[in-house]
Chain A
């Protein structure tokens, strides 16, 4: 089946640098994506979302870019801090029967070097 959230498994960045986490998807009909952060021992936490009618969306210290031509998303974290250490998932909500489910990719583990 078509997949979402093909990630590089790990990323290590220096504290204070910007982090860029990439995600690829295969379904050209996908129209809504969410980035989640999952810290060790916790549930996924919503960071930011983007709809396909947008190329860019900014939050607090985070920016998501969507390139529909190459079916690619990225999450940019400015001035990375130790608290940003986590696994980051790009995810796509999809209709499932009369409900919906979140399709999570494999995730990227972000580690911060002091």
Chain B
């Protein structure tokens, strides 16, 4: 059982390019999340999905979009990358939405935008 996988592990990207970060979970969790982790700012929620077919905006959604076509996959797309999007991105999932459900985190994608 892999849990949550993310791809790529790391990426260097030119500003203005489009990029999709992939996230897949095999736990049949309903809820999934994307966070970015920046030094001194902790983890900030970008987008979330409570169940397949629904998505919602987090604290820092600008410049990012997500889709949730099925239960397992929750890709994050940067339509036109900018240097301020340089960060480590973590995907997470929980069995159900709601604050009393444990969130499991993937290994992260380190993205550098030049």
Number of A-B contacts (CB under 8 A): 68
Interface size range on B against A: 20 to 34
Contact of B43 with A104 in the complex, beta carbons under 8 Å: yes
Chain B residues with CB under 8 A of A45: 105
Chain A residues with CB under 8 A of B53: none
Cβ contact of A42, chosen from B57, B58, B103, B108, cutoff 8 A: B108
Q: Give 1 or 0 for each of B1-37: 1 = CB within 8 Å of chain A CB.
A: 0001000000000000000000000000001010100
- Cα–Cα, bound, A32→B98 (Å): 12
Q: Which of A12-20, A64-72, A89-97 contacts B (4 or more CB under 8 A)?
A: A89-97
Contact of A98 with B102 in the complex, beta carbons under 8 Å: no
Chain A residues with CB under 8 A of B90: 43-44
Q: Given A99-B31, A101-B59, are A94 and B42 also a contact pair (CB < 8 Å)?
A: no
14 chain-A/chain-B pairs, Cβ below 8 angstroms: A5-B42, A41-B108, A43-B108, A93-B101, A94-B99, A95-B99, A96-B59, A98-B56, A98-B97, A99-B48, A99-B50, A100-B103, A101-B33, A101-B45
Contact of A105 with B42 in the complex, beta carbons under 8 Å: yes
Q: Is B63 an interface residue (CB 8 A)?
A: no
Interface residues of A in 33-47 (CB under 8 A from B): 34, 41-46
